[in-house]
Structure 1
Amino acid sequence: MASGHLYALDFDGVFCDSCGESSLSALKAAKIRWPFIFGEVNSAMEEWIIDQMHILRPVVETGYENLLLVRLLVELKVPPVRKSSVAEGLSVEAILENWLKLKPTIMSEWNEDKDSLIDLFGRVRDEWIENDFPSWIGANRFYPGVADALRFSSSEVYIVTTKQSRFAEALLRELAGINFPSERIYGLGTGPKVEVLKKLQAMPQHTGMTFHFIEDRLATLKNVIKEPELNEWNLYLVTWGYNTEKERNEAREISRIRLVDIPEFSKNLK
């Protein structure tokens, strides 16, 4: 039986603040998907959209949702292009509060398909990386101290993310100088995070280890709590990622979840 600690770590919101990059990628993709709407968007409005996306980032679970959000923001500001019943009178704060209800409504009313939006979002990122890699890297940043925590970690570490694995791998390499093993990155397409955690704990080499899962999304941690099979996992919500004060306060009331700041994260990982 192995002893020691295994850490499953989210990527965006734990290591990487990718909000600038994902918002710009969403704008590029939205111009391709909906030229009849985004042809009217000028640079001042693009700046406003990117500012609002920093507020809305906590609701994004998978990258393609950024496309939906940038279009919804345009519909808020430009009534003539509205195609959704929810846009009138909607505020950015209301989107933040009600995204899970709004998303299926706008997907239906815009006649959109999740898989094709995921493909488009990935393709736009790939083209940006291919055509101007330095500016793509520069649109991301790592939270202070977290890369060193990973670099000097003596624990068994896996990255479990809804980002495409190749993007996470490139960012670790270019921003942090860390060549993280690709087989330890479970990215988009490897299944829901709860299933990845089950897979990790079932590996024979991990028998007897202490399991830790570190996330910035409270909803993801709640999904883990619903799975009796995952009762052995210690759960942590980071205080620096894409979550709100309201969510952090809620997490404090849940006995399974501990809040963790960067100094404690670094100390634990080492």
Structure 2
Amino acid sequence: MAEYWWSSRRAALRLDPSLCLPEQAPAGFLQLRPLIHKGWEMVLMAAELGRPNLDLAALLLDYAASLAPTLERRGWRAPQLQQALEQVRSEAIANDRQAWLALHRFYPGVPERLRRLALEGADWAVLTTKGGAFAAELLAAAALEPRAVYGHEQGSKPDVLLRLRAEAASIGFLEDRRPTLEQVRATPGLEAVVCLLVSWGYLGPADACALPEGIDLLTPESFAAPLARWPGFATVRPY
């Protein structure tokens, strides 16, 4: 969260130097984060949080529908915001990589559990809406070595999973965004993918409630257990 705000704030200020944005992430950004899907949205929301007359409650209620009109009102385009965000991150890594890395914190126990996957004969890959190069920097800093890293430039997560399904007999997909899992479940060709919603991460208040068929909740305790004990993973060999 610290890095998200740090980078988003700087990108927004480059696009509109007149903005007045606090150094630390405001409460509104924390509330919006579970709804944000792509990096450019973070920049847009950072700018919106600098608007004195922002109706945060209305934005939270109808977030997805607000994106297009907000871009139009500001005269911005999504690729423009994505480029600004990635430029801020690229410069941060080039100028002081350690300081940029220090803005990130892995969830407790996650790096250690990922390293143990190799001992269980499981390959794993990272699918992220972050740029692949930035995700690779974070993974390398934590001495994590996935089979592959697929950033936003590789396509949507369902698109990547479709390509992986052509190479792997079975796949398990862990994700902290319920709409993404629902999109995977609705994608022809991905019916056999085991979908797990992790209980940590940027979940909305009701995201873990009344999960649809085909999506199971994975708690930190279950995540730490052997693969065969993960929901739906008894016969899966994760890719």
After TM superposition, the score normalised by the length of structure 1 is 0.78
1:262 aligns with 2:228: no
Structure with bigger helix share is 1
> Which residue among 91, 103, 106 is the counterpart of 2:67?
103
Shift of 1:27: 0.8
Provide, for residues 137-191 of structure 1, a one-character-per-residue CA deviation record: whole Å limited to 9, x for no partner.
Answer: 11110000110111110312111111111111111121x222445xx11111111
Tell me if 1:236 matches 2:196.
yes
Among the aligned pairs, what percent are the same residue?
29
- Structure 1 residue aligned with 2:40: 64
- Is the counterpart of residue 130 in structure 1 residue 94 in structure 2? yes
What displacement does 1:232 show? 0.3
Cα distance 1:268–1:198, how it changes in 2: closer, same or farther (>3 A)?
Answer: farther
Cα drift, residue 268 of structure 1? 4.4
Letter in 1 for 2:31: I
Aligned to 2:158: 194
CA RMSD of aligned residues (A): 1.7
Question: Cα distance, 1:269 vs. partner?
Answer: 4.6
Q: How does 1:11-160 map to 2 (within 5 A)?
A: 19-35=1-17, 37-38=18-19, 41=20, 45-47=22-24, 49-75=25-51, 78-79=52-53, 87=54, 90-91=55-56, 93-153=57-117, 154=120, 155-160=122-127
Q: Distance in 2 between matches of 1:58 and 1:186?
A: 21
**Greater relative contact order (CA < 8 Å, ≥ 6 in sequence):** 1
Any conservation in 1 of the 2:44–2:81 contact (CA below 8 Å)? no
Name the counterpart of 1:226. 186
Q: For 1:237 and 1:258, locate their aligned partners in 2 and report how far apart those are by CA, in whole Å.
A: 6
Letter in 1 for 2:5: S
Determine the C-alpha separation between the residues in 1 that align with 2:11 and 2:188: 40
* Whole-angstrom distance in 2 between the partners of 1:195 and 1:62: 16
Deviations 1:193-230 (A, max 9, x none): 11111100101xx23xx321110011101111111311
Structure 2 portions without partners, runs of 5+: 229-239
Question: 2:196 is aligned with what amino acid?
Answer: Y
Contact 1:169 1:180 (C-alpha < 8 Å) held by counterparts? no
**Structure 1 residue ranges, 4+ long, deviating more than 4 angstroms after superposition:** none
CA-CA distance at 1:50 after TM superposition: 3.5
Partner deviation per Cα, 1:34-93 (whole Å, 9 max, x = no partner): 01x22xx26xx443x443322221111111111111111111xx24xxxxxxx3xx12x4
**Whole-angstrom distance in 2 between the partners of 1:97 and 1:218:** 17
Q: Which residue of 2 aligns with 1:84?
A: none
Supply the distance in 1 between the matched residues of 2:215 and 2:48 (Cα, whole angstroms). Answer: 33
Q: If the length of structure 2 is used for normalisation, what is the TM-score?
A: 0.88
Q: 1: distance between equivalents of 2:146 and 2:158?
A: 22
Cα displacement string for residues 206-263 of structure 1 (whole angstroms, at most 9, x for unaligned residues) = 23xx321110011101111111311101111111111112111142xx1111000112
Could you tell me which runs of 5 or more consecutive residues in structure 1 were left unpaired when the two chains were aligned. Answer: 1-18, 80-86
Tell me how far apart the structure 2 counterparts of residues 201 and 160 of structure 1 sit (CA, whole Å).
14
Q: Following TM superposition, by how much is the alpha carbon of 1:30 offset from its aligned partner in structure 2, in angstroms?
A: 1.1
CA distance in 1: counterparts of 2:227 and 2:78, whole angstroms: 36
* 2-structure distance, mates of 1:250, 1:135: 41
**Maintained 8 Å contact 2:124/2:146:** no
Number of the residue aligned with 1:6: none
